[in-house]
Amino acid sequence: MNDHIPAKPRHNTEFETLRLRIDFLNRSRYRVTCTDIDSKETHAEAFWPFTDEEELNWIEALNGELPGHGDRKKLLEQVGEQLFEALFHDKDAYAALGVARNSVRESQKVLRLVLELDHPRLERLPWESILDPTAAAFVARDPQICLIRRVRESAVEPVTIIKPLRILVVIPQPVGGVPLNVEREWAILNRALKEPLGNGQIELDPLPPIGRDDPVTLQMLERHLQLAEEANRPYHMLHFIGHAEWDAAAGAGVLWFEDYKRDSVAVSGEALGGVLTHDLQLVVLNACEGARNEQSAPFRSITTALLHSSDVVTVIASQIRLKDTVAHDFTRAFYQKIGQGYTLEEAMIAARAEIARIGEEPMSWAAPVMVTREPRLPIYPFLSLPPRRVMKRLYAGGLTAVTLLSGITVVTLIRVFGWLGGIAFQLAIWVAAATIFWLNRRFILEAWRETLLAVVTATAVIGLWFWWLPTVELPSQAEVQVQIEPPPDLVRGTVSVEGTVGNLPPDRQLWLLVQAEGSDSYVAGDLATLSEDRTQFDVPELRVGPPADRLVRGQRYIIQPVVVDDGADRQLTVFSQAFFRYFHPDLRVTPEPSLPHITVTRR
């Protein structure tokens, strides 16, 4: 039976949102409206500081026309500072950014920095490169900030997502086009999504389907999406692997598909959006120049055109040309996070960080652009974790239980099998803990308070567990006579005990307890089997001490018979079970036993 998922699912991370809306009042003046994390608005007007020529030069230079990485890096820093000043020249807006940053750092949330840009002159600028000169840091490189572009577009109807999440990978390869390493991209997607693909949470389908070599035409894509929808198996995400470029003649961005002869066919964003079905929420364009725009082409860049001509909520593309290897790095990091249940914001942060870490193209981390029509991005909740605060509580509870059980087990193993057994188990715990810490170090460091509380709590409980000695109340032992046949002086782990008993009341039983010489506590041994006339008893196998002979060689043990009533019998039955025998064998009896006992020595 299919599980229906609401269109506005729960988050596995909590968010704050800071919105900046830019409006041109005329060709030279603009206004920035800042809505802070408490929904308070401020407005500021200023003269637009850039000329058309400067803006176009930036785009051309960042696409690689300046020689050397150093030049591009320096240029991006200069551009980033100027764009930052254009956004935050007003002191109230800059203060709102500072408050938002501090808030997410203290609460371990993620900040959505949403830029509402509804003018082609604004859309073409590299806002992802904004650099705070005071902090000397690129804002989009902050691991707790996701920069999102938003178009002012009517909201789409909520979509009910049905498990599994279905991703269609569109791979046109027209004859004569620049060859792409499609096999590598497909392999990266499969590796990144290996776990959710294996457990059925995600389905990944290529177009053309595996085993077929049909040309990928726009008509083929439309038909494939329609058939999937008719079969009640609609796609939720589309990943495009191919080429895109700016078509100067058409004045629009285009993607290259195939015709029936496998020749190249230019497909605009509007044309592609026209064939996409209602359930598609996210489009990822792994194509160079996919997000680029020009002043003379309002709403004709591929990303913006897709959002205006379809029900797609979010488009991710690159605003500058990228090497295949850099695009592969983005794909790997982005889809790994999606497969692990992270939000799109977190996946974008991780992908940007991965590109920057590898550093093959120093400024390529600023290339990915996320454009959405919604202030909040679509999330696929069946992949998501519970809210972070719930995760911390679950983590603390689990860590407490694991620490408690492992601590008790180590002490028990040392007592039962010696220091070697205990140390070996402890080493295994440390190795497992180190592995878990390394794989989840960010979350564990974030939850250090919960970690400390869990360890302290578990340690306290372990101490109380071994400090606690249950007490068994014995009935009167008066007038009962017991005589035990002497067993061998030297015994191994168990010994057979038998003897005679007299004057045992009919509502009483006889138990044998074991006590290490010099100890003030006992271990519940076993219930003696009585003869029909209740004058003889025996215990075929009475355990004396731990099983490891080498630990207790030469240790003397007292075998102590005691008379018990129903209550004491029930208590001793519980404490003689394997759990207590291994993890908490010691107990006290009151009053102190007075019946004759025997002593044996372990060999």
* Interval 116-158: pLDDT, tens: 987 878 888 889 999 999 988 999 999 999 999 998 766 666 5
Judge contact between 239 and 203, C-beta under 8 A.
no
pLDDT of 9 higher than 50: no
| CATH number of domain containing 555 | 2.60.40
What secondary structure does DSSP assign to 238-281, as a single string? EEEES-EEEETTTTEEEEEEE-TTS-EEEEEHHHHHHH--TT--
Distance CA 237, CA 453 (A): 42
Please indicate whether residue 431 or residue 253 has the higher confidence score (pLDDT): 253
pLDDT of 238 higher than 50: yes
pLDDT of 65 higher than 60: no
Number of structural domains the chain divides into: 4
Residues 41 and 133 in one domain: yes
Least confident among 187-191, 417-421, 527-531: 417-421
Last residue of a domain, one of 430, 447, 467: 467
Which pLDDT score is estimated for 381?
47
Domain around 581: 471-602
Which pLDDT score is estimated for 11?
46
Residues 461 and 489 in one domain: no
Which pLDDT score is estimated for 421?
60
Which pLDDT score is estimated for 154?
60
Name the band, by pLDDT with cuts 50, 70 and 90, for residue 459: confident
Which pLDDT score is estimated for 473?
92
Least confident among 58-62, 189-193, 554-558: 58-62
First vs last C-alpha separation in the chain:
64
pLDDT of 388 higher than 60: no
Cis ω for the linkage preceding 381 (within 30 of 0): no
pLDDT of 435 higher than 60: yes
Which pLDDT score is estimated for 568?
92
pLDDT of 62 higher than 80: no
196-209 mean pLDDT = 88
| CATH number of domain containing 281 | 3.40.50
Which pLDDT score is estimated for 6?
34
Which pLDDT score is estimated for 35?
94
Q: How far is CA 193 from the centre of its chain?
A: 14
pTM exceeding the 0.85 threshold for the entire prediction? no
Which pLDDT score is estimated for 188?
93
Least confident among 2-11, 36-45, 221-230, 534-543: 2-11
Residues 9 and 39 in one domain: yes
CA 454, 456, 457, 459 torsion-angle sign: positive
Domain-located, residue 431: yes
Domain-located, residue 355: no
Domain-located, residue 365: no
Residues 493 and 461 in one domain: no
Which pLDDT score is estimated for 161?
62
Last residue of a domain, one of 439, 467, 495: 467
Mean pLDDT comparison of 229-233, 457-461, 513-517, highest-scoring range: 513-517
Residues 169 and 314 in one domain: yes
Which pLDDT score is estimated for 1?
36
Which pLDDT score is estimated for 153?
65
Last residue of a domain, one of 429, 448, 467: 467
Judge contact between 470 and 575, C-beta under 8 A.
yes
Residues 318 and 197 in one domain: yes
Residues 107 and 182 in one domain: no
Residue identified by tokens 């960010």 is 442
- 357 token code pair: 């870490």
pLDDT of 68 higher than 50: no
pLDDT of 333 higher than 70: yes
Mean pLDDT comparison of 294-298, 487-491, 549-553, highest-scoring range: 487-491
**To the nearest whole percent, how much of the chain has pLDDT over 90?**
35
pLDDT digits (tens, 9 = 90+) for 499-532: 999 999 999 999 999 998 888 889 898 999 999 9
Domain-located, residue 417: yes
Domain-located, residue 216: yes
Distance CA 3, CA 166 (A): 14
Q: Nearest to residue 237, comparing CAs of 250, 251, 252, 225?
A: 225
pLDDT of 321 higher than 50: yes
Residues 13 and 139 in one domain: yes
Domain-located, residue 14: yes
pLDDT digits (tens, 9 = 90+) for 525-576: 899 999 999 999 999 999 888 766 666 778 899 999 999 999 999 999 998 8
Residues 408 and 481 in one domain: no
- The per-residue pLDDT of the chain, averaged, comes to 81
pLDDT of 359 higher than 80: no
Residues 284 and 204 in one domain: yes
Domain-located, residue 366: no
Which pLDDT score is estimated for 222?
95
Domain-located, residue 236: yes
2-20 mean pLDDT = 60
Please indicate whether residue 476 or residue 21 has the higher confidence score (pLDDT): 21
Judge contact between 237 and 284, C-beta under 8 A.
yes
Distance CA 99, CA 208 (A): 49
Residues 178 and 300 in one domain: yes
Residues 454 and 492 in one domain: no
